[in-house]
Structure 1
Amino acid sequence: MSRAEVVDVSKGDGGEPRAPRALWTLGLFRSELMITFRRWRTLALLGVLAAVPVLVGVAVKIETSDGSTVGGGGEGGGPAFIAQITNNGLFLVFTALAATLPFFLPMAIGVVAGDAIAGEANAGTLRYLLVAPAGRTRLLLVKYATTLTFCLVATLVVAVSALATGALLFPLGEVTTISGTRIGFGEGLWRALLIALVVAASLVGVAALGLFVSTLTSSGIAAMATTVGLLITVQILDQIPQLDALHPYFFSHYWLSFADLMREPVYWDDLIKNLQMQGLYAAVFGSAAWARFGAKDIMA
């Protein structure tokens, strides 16, 4: 569906409204999804994300081919999961998500979100989109919903690629939790899905931040670069001990709390704090994006 077709579904032959606005919004949302996921840039990002679990799995397989074990690391993070991959390929899902969450996943989200409005302005299609009877608020919500959909799809691509690679290279079976208890493979698979959903939800704040940056400029490249730069800067600040008092307010601080889903019983405190922080960032930067976009002078 082209941009012109999206606009036309809400008009009759005489130009009067023909379909409910909800139907028009669904049409626009479907169009945005098709446009986003047909771009070579988007496919390349998803390809890179799918390749990360394969590379990790192959590296672990090669390293342990002589019977040695992978060195373990800190509790609850990627290294702790890496040490268990050879015993259960399902742990490759947790390791891959821990490896991609600090940089690869938020970078991909930053690229898509940063280009949402600025890319349309740069291509000269933003003004044309606003001719349709959606209004700026509805268009902004559709852009954000599309970005959130990409968050979910990107996370699931990593998880599915990791699960397939883990099943091919390593045995599957009962899962030993971080607490030392054992759960069945079915429950372990369910927790893997839940972890993927939590990781996707952890990117909600990044998506809102990128969308806000996208409303500040008419250059898609500048918006994407600025968003990715902010992501890197925040994570660097999150590692500086002197800023310890500020760390809980950074959107990336609780990202790896998803590992608490592999405890028995599940430790919910940091998970809830993470979701609350993402909701706060979404509310703040979503409101800022709405205020900026509502007052933006569309010249092209």
Structure 2
Amino acid sequence: MPAASARPAKAAERRGNTAALLGSELLTLFRRRRTAALIGALALIPILIGVAVKIAGESSSGRGPAFLDLITQNGLYVGLTAITVATPLFLPLTIGVIAGDTIAGEASHGTLRYLLIAPAGRLRLLLVKYLSAGVFCLAASLTVLVVGTLVGWVLFSIGPLTLLSGTTVTVGEGLLRLLGIAAYISVSLLGLSAIGLFLSTLTTVPVGAMAGTAILAVAAQILGALPQLDWLHPWLFTDHWLSFADLLRDPVQWASFGDNALLQAGYIVVFGALAAGRFLSKDILS
């Protein structure tokens, strides 16, 4: 009986240790100057777009990124334009830096052995590192959209949002849809984060894992642009990245959301298992 009652207590203790470790990891991550620089660089995207449109005026319809020609009519489109620009390149680059540094960064600084000496365990440490990268995905997406909304409000004012289907929704509902887009983009980047985590377990040089993650993101998008490889497109982790536009329809088209979540889950399972297999069998020398 005492042994049986001790099991829930040990489980609760493990959950508490994991939560404490995750909290410590998140504090460390967001206190780094590099993280602040990445967030700042993402915030510059909507700022530059808003200021450029304010100075240059309205663009010709159909030219430039999606929603660009609508910015002067409604400042909410600054965030939408910025996230359209950031998703294919800038967001993957920042995620590559964070995910590629998860394990390799600790190894390069000689702190990995110390973390494993503490009551963390390899699998728990790997999980915490991945969760922290996932939190950064959300923070990065929100940065682009929130800063874009604020810039649009200051420079152009905001009003009811006209959706792609032609329906107009209130400002409040428009803001909720922007939050939904941030969540969608965050989920879209989880597969890339898993790839970065795996690459980070392969090396003690974080720059190599960072570069490898970013290169794979670019390569997947190039492959996705080739019509000759239509059979491959549904398997690419980038295939649904821009399908967040389905949140701007009335009614919302939910099919792409489920397909995207399933695709990213597949990458998380495969590359998470590869990362765990590598990390559990790896000799930690630093």
Query: What TM-score does the superposition give when structure 1 sets the normalisation length?
Result: 0.88
Tell me if structure 2 keeps the 8 A contact 1:46–1:157.
yes
Distance in 2 (alpha carbons) for counterparts of 1:93 and 1:119: 32
Cα distance in 1, alignment partners of residues 66 and 157 from structure 2: 18
Any unmatched runs of 5+ in structure 1?
A: 1-16
Counterpart contact for 1:72–1:80, Cα < 8 Å: no
C-alpha distance in 2 between matches for 1:44 and 1:79: 25
Q: Please give the alpha-carbon distance, in whole angstroms, between the structure 2 residues aligned to 1:108 and 1:48.
A: 9
Alignment equivalent of 1:55, drawn from 48, 59, 63: 48
Tell me which stretches of 4 or more aligned residues in structure 1 moved more than 4 Å. none
Aligned to 2:279: 293
Which residue is equivalent to 1:160? 146
1:50-89 matched pairs, under 5 angstroms = 50-64=43-57, 69-73=58-62, 79-89=65-75
Aligned residue in 1 for 2:85: 99
1:247-266 paired onto structure 2 within 5 Å: 247-266=233-252
TM-superposed deviation, 1:228? 1.2
CA distance in 2, matches of 1:41, 1:225: 16
Deviation at 1:160, TM superposition (A): 1.1
Q: Is 1:122 equivalent to 2:114 in the alignment?
A: no
Q: How far 1:243 moved relative to its partner?
A: 1.2
Structure 1 residue 270: Cα displacement:
2.0
Segments of structure 2 that go 5 or more residues without pairing to the other structure are 1-9
Aligned partner of 1:169 in structure 2 is 155
Q: Which residue of 1 aligns with 2:3?
A: none
The residue type paired with residue 262 of structure 1 is L
Deviations 1:189-209 (A, max 9, x none): 111111111111111101101
Equivalent AA in structure 1 for residue 17 of structure 2 = W
Moved more, 180-189 or 138-147: 180-189
Q: Is the 8 A contact 1:71 1:79 kept in 2?
A: no
TM-superposed CA distance for 1:21, in Å, is: 2.4
- Aligned partners of 2:115 and 2:285: how far apart in 1? 13
1:3-42, CA deviations, whole angstroms, 9 ceiling, x for partnerless residues?
xxxxxxxxxxxxxx9x922222222112111111111111
What is the CA distance between 1:224 and its match in structure 2?
0.9
Distance in structure 1 (CA, Å) of the matches to 2:266 and 2:17 = 29
Of residues 248, 256, 266, the one that matches 1:280 is 266
The answer (yes or no) to whether the contact 2:65–2:85 under 8 Å persists in 1 is no
SS in 2 for 1:255: coil
The counterpart of 1:131, out of the listed 117, 131, 137, is 117
Q: Kindly indicate whether the alpha-carbon contact (under 8 Å) linking 1:88 and 1:170 is maintained by their aligned counterparts in 2.
A: yes
Q: Does 1:214 align with 2:214?
A: no
Partner of 2:85, secondary structure, is helix
For 2:65, give the aligned amino acid: P
Please tell me whether residue 27 in structure 1 is matched to residue 15 in structure 2.
no
Q: Aligned partner of 1:30: which letter?
A: G
User: Kindly tell me: are residues 267 and 72 of structure 1, through their superposed partners in 2, closer, same or farther at Cα, counting changes over 3 Å?
Assistant: farther
* Paired residues, number: 276
The residue type paired with residue 49 of structure 2 is V
CA distance in 2, matches of 1:62, 1:267: 36
RMSD of the alignment, in Å?
Answer: 1.6
Tell me how far 1:139 sits from its aligned partner: 0.5
Q: State whether residues 72 and 79 of structure 1, in contact with CA within 8 Å, keep that contact through their aligned partners in structure 2.
A: no
SS of 1:80's equivalent in the other structure is coil
More helix per residue: 2
CA contact (8 A) 2:66 2:84 kept: no
Q: CA–CA distance in 1 between the matches of 2:78 and 2:260? A: 23
In 2, the alpha carbon distance for the partners of 1:25 and 1:35 equals 15
Distance in 2, matches of 1:277 and 1:73, equals 31
Tell which deviates more after alignment, 255-264 or 235-244: 235-244
Q: Is the 8 A contact 1:251 1:278 kept in 2?
A: yes
Against the structure 1 CA distance between its residues 131 and 152, is the aligned structure 2 distance closer, same or farther, given a 3 Å change threshold?
same
Give the secondary-structure state (helix, strand or coil) at the position aligned to 1:116: coil
